[in-house]
Amino acid sequence: MNAKMGAGAAHMILETRAVPPFMKNGFVLGCETTREGVVIDPGDDVDLLLDAVREHDLSIRYILLTHAHLDHITGVGRAKAALGAPVVLHRDDNFLYDAVVQQGQMFGFQVERQPPVDRFYDGPGPWTFGKYSAWVYHTPGHCPGGVCLAVGTAEATARDLFVGDTLFAGSIGRTDLPGGDMETLLQSIRGVLFSFPDDTAVYSGHGEKTTIGKEKRTNPFLVV
Ligand SMILES: [Zn+2]
Ligand SMILES: [Zn+2]
């Protein structure tokens, strides 16, 4: 094992899928020991995510949503039907979730209503799958109910961050959609995400993986 890898999640199963038009990253995370897992943000990539779940022979405990923009939720119904796992969202994004059809119209896509959310994030969690857990951080700004999920084990301090559309490699989330606010977004990034160690891996809702340290040093929206 490479000692420089995030020790807490060095062996965690982690699959990423993205499809056009949104190229939104959906994730399957799994515990290599218990084969329990979670699916994060199933969108139009849902069939590929379900394939990954089967390939790794995972039993999915939760469908965790970073936020409720349509590209992150259009696969929720299919995922829930296939996996039988509860859907979890921050309560402040429920208005967006319920308006998925209208969101589609706004972008010129016909999308179907999704099944109701089963549980709301209520504090830090954690949401546990096998020896791993996802701790919840409310990071509004891109939208009111955006969260980041910090995933790792109870024993180790290393975390992998699943940040939705709050922070990207070299960019930040847009704030021109309903409920978006730039000052709030910057506060979420600087106050919450940048409190994690520099070598923390960041998995964004779109684009390449990055690290907290790299974004601190080079992100043009965040360097001072
Ligand atoms: Zn978004
Ligand atoms: Zn997105």
Ligand 2 center–CA 71 separation, angstroms: 5
- Ligand number nearest CA of 22 is 2
Strand intervals (E) in 110-200: 119-120, 127-129, 132-138, 147-153, 160-164, 167-168, 171-172
Which residues place a Cβ less than 5 A from the ion ligand 1?
Answer: 69, 165
Closest CA to 36 of 68, 56, 60: 60
pLDDT by residue, tens only, the chain of 224 residues: 444 444 444 599 999 999 999 999 999 999 999 999 999 999 999 999 999 999 999 999 999 999 999 999 999 999 999 999 999 999 999 999 999 999 999 999 999 999 999 999 989 999 999 999 999 999 999 999 999 999 999 999 999 999 999 999 999 999 999 999 999 999 999 999 999 999 999 999 999 999 999 999 999 999 86
Ligand 2 center–CA 22 separation, angstroms: 7
40 bridge partner residues: 27, 64
Ligand 1 center–CA 166 separation, angstroms: 8
For the record, the structure tokens of 108 come out as: 């010129």
pLDDT at 223: 87
What whole-number distance in Å separates Cα of residue 224 and Cα of residue 210?
A: 19
- Ligand number nearest CA of 67 is 1
Ligand 2 center–CA 204 separation, angstroms: 9
pLDDT at 10: 58
Ligand 2 center–CA 17 separation, angstroms: 13
Ligand 1 center–CA 189 separation, angstroms: 15
Ligand 1 center–CA 173 separation, angstroms: 7
pLDDT at 67: 98
Peptide bond into 116 cis (omega under 30): no
**Residue found by looking up tokens 């967006």 in the block:** 96
Ligand 1 center–CA 217 separation, angstroms: 24
pLDDT at 160: 98
Ligand 2 center–CA 97 separation, angstroms: 13
pLDDT at 8: 47
- Ligand number nearest CA of 185 is 1
Ligand 1 center–CA 185 separation, angstroms: 12
Ligand 2 center–CA 1 separation, angstroms: 33
